[in-house]
Amino acid sequence: MKNLGYRLFGFMVAALLFLASVTSASACLFSHYQPEVPESLRK
């Protein structure tokens, strides 16, 4: 059970990191507020 939870969190984190990489490729997203992009994602 603990292993399943760990995998679930791992999957969630991997999906979020992938999304971060995708969203950082845009000029900005939809709204009129832009959170600061981390240095490692700036390109």
Partner 1 sequence: MSYLSFSKRWAGYLATKTGLASEKEQILTYVIEVLFLNLANVILTLLLGLMLGVLPGTAACLLTVAIFRHTAGGAHSSSPLRCAMVTVMVFPCLALLASALAQVGQFYSDLLSGLAVFIGLMAIVLLAPVDSPAAPIISPLRRRRLKFLSILAIILVAALIAALRYSSLDYTAEIQLCLALSLLWVGFILSRPGHLLMMFIDTIDIPTKRR
Q: State in angstroms the smallest separation of the CB of 1 from partner 1.
A: 14
Q: State in angstroms the smallest separation of the CB of 22 from partner 1.
A: 9
Q: How far apart are CA 28 and CA 24, in angstroms?
A: 8
Q: Amino acid identity of 39?
A: E
Q: Which residue ranges make up the site for partner 1 (CB under 8 A)?
A: 5-6, 9-10, 12-13, 16-17, 19-20, 23-38, 40-43
| Torsion angle defined by CA atoms of residues 29, 33, 35 and 41, in that order, rounded to the nearest 10 degrees | 30
